Amino acid sequence: MCGIAGYITDRGGMPNQLISDMTSALEHRGPDDQGIYHAKFGDAYLAMGHRRLSIVDLSNFGHQPMSRDFVTVAFNGEIYNFEEIKSELLSLGYTFSSKTDTEVIIYSYMAWGVDCVNRFNGMFALALYDERAAVLHLIRDRTGIKPLYWARRANEIVFGSELKALIRYPGIKREICPEAISLYLRFGYVPEPLTIYSGINKLRPATILSISAHDLHINERQYWDISDFYRAPHTSHSEREVIEEVDRLIQSSCKLRLMADVPVGIFLSGGYDSATVAAVCQAVASRPVKTFTIGFDDPNYNEAPEAKSIANYIGTEHTELYCNASDALDLIPNIVEIWDEPLGDVSCVPTALVSKLARTSVKVALSADGGDECIGRCKSRPLKRRRCVAAGGVKVCHFL
């Protein structure tokens, strides 16, 4: 998962321990390694920290923050198509000393500038310092899968993967934002750019926030907009062509997300979405994938039997754990620490429980969150079963 943190300040004498304290607040995101970086930033100072969860290239060559020539990056996430981009960069004469996607980000920036982000297929939140141009870029992926918070007070800018890192910085206060409370009661979460705390922002998805070292001027721009796809002309493809293309995309997505130097698992709930992901991953993987399910005694909430049937049908290595009310209640005190902000989604409890279960066997787990939205399924107007999943998951769909 990894975590990043950092600050820009014009206050002299800031202790070196501060950036270590901020990144230590993110140890749960990256228990494998940690690193810090300091630099002169115009008339101010820049500090960046990183906590690493090693997934690709487990060696020390993946240590962050990573510097090459005039570029330094602290990065949380994965660039799934980094091998493809790396091949193009090799043809341009760049040489690599690691097998990481982090190094690909650096050389992509050197080759194509900050717009290189448009080439990335992945989920990411990153801080990129260009010493030559004297600018720090904070960048978030297209749909905001990876979190990135930031705050400004006077001539200081603070950023990090979680709120708990920012509040370690002197002067950053935990004052509740009334507007955020109103939005939370309406939506069940606090939407960007607000957070539950006044003065702390969430960087919007698909956004580049650039900070100039000359005057700490901030420029914020959006580099991608999903509405462009909705405004595009409709296709005239047949239903069969659409199904085949969706099948290709799902298989490609699963293959890319299975690329790791550590074991990868799947959260299996028993519904269409997670069953499709599990079925496709099982079909393209070289060995049985590991699936994980949380069960409950109350049949109104228990999907474990369906998940187990699907796991047996497609042949995954399945693990299930039945929890009772006390297991969920015992987790409640930790919810605030885990989520940082209010979240009106009761599924956060079983998600935390199944994550804890999966961590005993794997380092990375895939979920199918967003699957219902992608296929347009809802309670009021369900799609036909033959249209719910692509060709790669048709057998599972029929089974369901």
Active site (catalytic) residues: 2
- Compute the distance between CA of residue 282 and CA of residue 273 in angstroms, rounded to an integer: 14
CB 55 within 8 A of CB 80: no
The structure tokens listed for 379 are 């309670």
Q: What are phi and psi of 363, to 5 degrees?
A: -105, -25
**Number of helices followed by number of strands (H, E) in the chain:** 14, 16
Residue indicated by tokens 């299975």:
258
Residues sharing a CB contact under 8 Å with residue 56, sequence separation 6 or more, in sequence order: 62, 78, 99, 100, 101, 259, 260, 261
Q: Exposure string (b/e) for 191-230, b if CB count within 10 Å is 16 or more?
A: eeebbbbeebbbbebbbbbbbebeebeeeeeeeeeeeeee
Residue 139 pairs in a beta bridge with 126, 208
The side-by-side arrangement of strands in the sheet containing 290-296 is 317-323, 290-296, 264-267, 364-366
